[in-house]
Chains A and B, each alone.
Chain A
Amino acid sequence: MTDYRMHLLICGGTGCKASESSEIKNQLDQYLSEYDLDQEVQVLLTGCFGFCEKGPIVKVLPDNTFYTEVKPSDAKDIVMEHIIKGRPVKRLLYKNPKNDYEVTTATNIDFYKKQIRIALRNCGFINPENIDEYIGRDGYAALGKCLTEMTPEEVIKEIKDSGLRGRGGGGFPTGLKWEITRNVQNDQKYVVCNADEGDPGAFMDRSILEGDPHTVIEAMIICGYCIGADTGLVYIRAEYPLAIERLKIAIGQAEEYGLLGNDILGTGFSFKIELRYGAGAFVCGEETALIHSMEGLRGEPTVKPPFPSVSGYNGKPTNVNNVETFANIPVIINKGANWFNKIGTEKSKGTKVFALAGKINNVGLIEVPMGTTLREVIYDIGGGIKDGKQFKSVQTGGPSGGCLTKKFLDTPIDYDNLVEAGSMMGSGGMIVMDEDDCMVSIARFYLEFTLEESCGKCNPCRIGNKRLHEILTRITEGNGTPEDIDRLRVLSEVIKDTSLCGLGQSSPNPVLSTLNNFMDEYLAHVNEGKCPAGQCKALVRYEINPELCTGCTLCFRNCPVGAITGERRVAHFIDQSLCIKCGVCFEKCKFNAISLT
């Protein structure tokens, strides 16, 4: 970035793109050229900044001004005020919700303060479509170091010493995995990058691939060097067109620079990378299923052993790591295992990226050191619960995880603590729930997901989860019995104990954790026919209090099914037989006349 006086970085992540960030770029470009500034100031669409809640985000370099919730119509002001007159556009600055003061730079925003960015180090800092910018930030230095100064054994030792564990969910030590694959004798081996991110509510892999594709490429080459593979395969969701596009560009650039292909950097080591596309099957995150999918088969998992490290893609030894795991590798090589292993807890080193979402003020992508507490994540980084409501639960680990309560807020986050608490790290989804969320419905929601994504190969997962879902549905519809609660528990335990793959083995976690932590809600549904959170439609009624109703007709006009009747200025009435319980009237009423019982 040497030729330009200033740079405007615009978030090109999916969320911000959906909020017209491309149009913002167009507008900025237009105004810059109008004022003949297009040779001085460059506008770049970059990867996700993480602070999705306040997107689209525009960052100005070199002064690091951080504009939030920018609209295309703001482009003129940014150019006129900031670029030409040199003063920030105040109304676009982030306001600290605690004191309403404007914060100019990202580093001073609470959201970023407690974060340490290793995997996301380049996201939002470089143009992901320009390899020079990656190289400018130490990119491919680790590769050079590995190929010219280190033996594969030394690299593996470094990774082992760093304590890095797989970030895809299982938490298996990465260095050990590489070593096992290295030690299997075979003339053909493969490196596979699992980019089939399927957790509903997790998008870190996508952000890394969109924001910093070269880091994954660099790490895969290093891995190939270590295990003795000449081919890398990225298994990526077809639903991620932008990530695919950027990955392809990055591969092309790396080949052009001699960093990928034959005789890399003149060392004699050759490595190529190909893309394979996922087609919408969550179970393909499981490594054996992923491998079968790459072979053109149904993505059904097979019993392990044999592990992919012994017999994987096409029956050859295959090392599978996920995107985030790979993103850590270059940093570990550059800064050393001893730097990395000082971050985190005793058994979980480094950082973890979480997709923080749900009923929280600062939805976004965050990266925190292992050992950060849930409280710090939710309140300091996440800015607390939305609309001043009460925190109820946080769900980690995606559909395989569990729902944790208040009592776990001070638990330091790492692999083992989360498992002990009845949840898991998973790939890093973190969904915050408030008092309005019904935990039985949440359990049912996750089961619905597993039900749809179960491959159907083994009975406990195929039929067991169906039955769990049916029981949960029964309870949310007010037809549950106390025996149903017992059945949920017994069946959940058996499904965990007998399912073939990780999907089935963890699918009852949302049920078990809500049973453990929110039994009172189950009992209220079953024994009293009530949904304490007011979410279960069959168990709630919307009623108009005639004392408070002014007859403004707002509810009448908004009711989508015509269930509300009443004359102007006369109290209205809801016909329960027609009401679909959509809650629109409740939201629209300005006089609090509609109650939920």
Chain B
Amino acid sequence: MPKIKLSDNTINIIKEVCAEFDNKESELINVLHKVQGKLGYLPAEVQEVIARELKTSVAKVYGVVTFYSFFTMIPKGEFPISICMGTACYVRGAEQVLSEFKRQLKVEVGESTSDGKFSLNCLRCVGACGLAPVVTVGEKVYGRVAPTQVKDIIAEYRNNVCDVARTA
């Protein structure tokens, strides 16, 4: 894992979050949520700062980060694509949609494209089963997606600037 150096600003952000939760070890998950919300992901160096602030071991922090699928140590792509793999979506063909995304983006689940534009993930039931199979790009939800539409969805973002997915 390549070492990154955190800026003083980033370290201060982390410290502030920890302080907000009284630097209590039992608030670890809340701290991780908030820090990930601010920084986008939780690289090793960030976890080290959190461990220090909460006076716990970095192994424990890492153990928690790797336990919960919501936490990530890899920055997400500019446009994070998620395929719902809930049962309703599965029986309505989500797997075919997923494999089409994998094929077109040339990435596996959990990876980002080399240009950092897209990351691909699965999620479990967004609660839009009426629209199965469902794909989300950023906050935008696509319903009743067929494998043939995958190309168009990707194209929608490929030449786009970052802000679109975030605000959509």
Direct contact of A and B (CB under 8 A): yes
Chain A positions within 8 Å of B, measured between CB atoms, are 13-15, 17-19, 52-55, 198-203, 206-207, 238-239, 276-282, 293-299, 314, 355, 357-359, 363-364, 395, 398, 429, 431, 433, 437, 442, 445-446, 449, 452, 455, 558, 560, 580, 582-584
Assess whether B126 is interfacial by the CB under 8 Å rule.
yes
Contacts of A293 in B (CB 8 A): 29
A281 to chain B, nearest CB (A): 5
> Closest residue to B25 on the A side, CB-wise?
A296
Q: Which residues of chain B come closer than 8 Å to A560, judged between CB atoms?
A: 100, 103, 147
Pick from A15, A53, A199, A429 the residue with the most CB of B within 10 Å: A15
Number of interface residues of B (CB under 8 A): 43
- Residues from chain B with a CB closer than 8 A to the CB of A295 are 26
Please pick, from A239, A433, A582, the residue contacting B100 in the complex, using a CB distance under 8 A: A582
The one of B87, B96, B129 that contacts A15, using a Cβ cutoff of 8 Å: B129
**Interface with A: B8-16, B62-70, B111-119, B154-162, which one?**
B62-70
- Residue contacts A-B, CB under 8 angstroms, 24 given: A15-B130, A18-B128, A18-B143, A55-B130, A55-B131, A199-B125, A202-B125, A277-B29, A279-B32, A279-B69, A279-B71, A280-B69, A280-B71, A281-B68, A281-B69, A294-B29, A296-B28, A296-B64, A355-B129, A358-B87, A363-B132, A449-B124, A452-B69, A560-B103
* Chain B residues within 8 Å of A14, by CB: 126-128, 141
- Which of B24, B63, B88, B96: most chain A Cβ within 10 A? B88
- Contacts A277-B29, A277-B33, A279-B33: A52 and B130 contacting too (C-beta < 8 A)? yes
CA A18 to CA B124, docked complex, whole Å = 16
Q: Are B127 and A207 in contact (CB under 8 A)?
A: yes
Find residues 126-164 in chain B having any chain A CB closer than 8 Å to their own CB. Answer: 126-132, 134, 141-143, 147-148
Query: Which residues of chain B are within 8 angstroms of A449 by Cβ–Cβ distance?
Result: 85, 124
9 further interface pairs, Cβ-Cβ under 8 Å (given A13-B127, A582-B100) = A17-B141, A18-B141, A199-B125, A203-B127, A276-B29, A280-B69, A296-B27, A297-B28, A431-B91
Q: B92 — which chain A residues lie within 8 A by C-beta?
A: 358-359
Return the chain B residue nearest A395 by Cβ: B87
- Write out the residue numbers on chain A whose beta carbons fall within 8 Å of the beta carbon of B132: 357, 363
Do residues B64 and A298 form an inter-chain contact, with CB atoms below 8 A? yes
For the complex, give the distance between the alpha carbons of A461 and B71 in Å.
Answer: 23
Majority-rule SS of A interface residues: mixed
- Inter-chain contact total with CB atoms closer than 8 Å: 142
Contact at A200–B85, with CB atoms within 8 Å? Answer: yes
The distance in angstroms between the C-alpha atoms of A239 and B68, with both chains bound, is 12
Asked whether any CB of chain A lies closer than 8 Å to the CB of B41, the reply is no
Q: Is the CB of B64 within 8 A of A437?
A: no
Given known A296-B29, A357-B88, A582-B147, contact A53–B96 (CB-CB < 8 A): no
Q: Are B147 and A363 interface neighbours, CB within 8 A?
A: no
With a CB–CB cut-off of 8 A, which chain B residues contact A52? 128-131
Query: Is B124 touching A584 in the complex (CB atoms < 8 A)?
Result: no
Contacts of A207 in B (CB 8 A): 127
Contact status A201-B125, CB under 8 Å? yes
Residues from chain A with a CB closer than 8 A to the CB of B148 are 558, 584
Across the interface, which residues of B come within 8 angstroms of A55, CB to CB?
130-131
Bound-state CA distance A355–B134 (Å) is 16
CA distance A269 to B71 in the complex (A): 38
- How far apart sit A314 and B27, CA to CA, in the bound complex (Å)? 12
Q: Which of B67, B70, B125 contacts A200 (CB 8 A)?
A: B125
A201/B87 contact (C-beta < 8 A), A296-B64, A582-B96 known: yes
User: Are A280 and B70 within 8 A (Cβ)?
Assistant: yes
Would you call B57 an interface residue if the criterion is a C-beta within 8 Å of the partner chain's C-beta atoms? Answer: no
In the A-B complex, the 8 residue pairs with the smallest Cβ-Cβ separation, listed nearest first, are: A52-B130, A18-B141, A203-B127, A357-B88, A279-B68, A296-B28, A280-B70, A280-B69
Give the complex CA separation of A558 and B92 in angstroms.
20
Chain B residues near A198: list those with CB within 8 A: 124
**Are B87 and A357 neighbours in the complex by a CB distance under 8 Å?**
yes
- Cβ contact within 8 Å between B130 and A53: yes
CA–CA, A196 and B128, complex, Å: 17
B131: min CB distance to chain A, Å: 6
